Amino acid sequence: MLCSLLTVVFYAASSLGDKFISAKLDCNAREFSFLVSAATALFLALMLPFLGWSFAFSWRALVILLLLIAFKIGEFYTSAYLLKTVSAYELKAWLSINVILSFLVDLGRGKETFFWAFIPCAAALLVGIGMIAFAHRSEGEDVKKAGFLYILISLAYIASKFLYGLAINELNLTSEASRVSVLLLVMVGVALLQLPFVRFKTFFHKKGLLLGALTRLPNAAGL
């Protein structure tokens, strides 16, 4: 119970850190992706002596790893855009759709059993998401376009998160790889891919950059 509560606290702190990096540091999508992935990779690497390394390289594992990197970049890019204007909690609220989708997928695979309480719970979640989405649609052509773009990018955000979850579940996290090892490789891959697009002359002059990097520590600790 205590570990579960600590995990929630760590991820909540990490979400607020993402908001800080995107909005306060004014990082664009590439800078955001680089900072978040590089900092997380560093903290995960420091934990490896205590958690151990486990990753069996194969063509299958490599393909899944490349997909995970692509989905994680999609998540970071959409997060960077959305967190410019919305709160971290609002962004996480969209992930409730993934709860519904994950249950339906597991139900189709025979891993879950249907229960009638799912219907009102899912309906309540969708109504809540609808209220959030509707709040971003107001009068005026420009505002309506912005609201539509917000919904579109939010859907892309949850899609990248959902596909990441599907892909990582294809790995056997007991014999093929450990979750920490996979995430470390993903973060290193994202950081290397974003590295050529970061303008370091301006990037390292951002005030609060170190604090932004430190906000990724709770994310690594939450694992």
- 81-94 pLDDT tens trace: 988 888 777 777 76
* Alpha-carbon gap, residue 93 to 107, rounded angstroms: 22
Between residues 185 and 142, the one the model is more confident about: 185
* Alpha-carbon gap, residue 174 to 89, rounded angstroms: 32
Average pLDDT for 8-22: 74
- For 174-204, the DSSP string reads TTTB-HHHHHHHHHHHHHHHHGGG--HHHHT
* Alpha-carbon gap, residue 121 to 128, rounded angstroms: 11
Task: Indicate whether 146 pLDDT > 70.
Answer: no
Residues 6+ apart with CB under 8 A from 44: 180, 183, 184, 187, 220, 223
Domain count, the chain: 1
207 three-class SS: coil
Would you state the pLDDT for residue 16? 77
Mean pLDDT estimate for the chain: 79
- Chain position carrying tokens 């609808």: 130
Would you state the pLDDT for residue 139? 45
- For the question of whether the overall pTM of this predicted structure is more than 0.85, the answer is no
* Segment 27-64, tens digit of pLDDT: 999 999 999 999 999 999 988 888 788 888 888 889 99
Between residues 71 and 223, the one the model is more confident about: 71
Range of the domain at 133: 2-222
Torsion sign over Cα 161, 165, 166, 168: positive
Average pLDDT for 196-204: 88
* Segment 88-119, tens digit of pLDDT: 777 777 667 767 777 777 677 677 676 666 67
Q: What six digits make up the tokens of 73?
A: 């970049």
1 falls in which pLDDT band (50, 70, 90)?
Answer: very low
Give the closest residue to 26 by CA, choosing from 86, 90, 87, 83.
Answer: 83
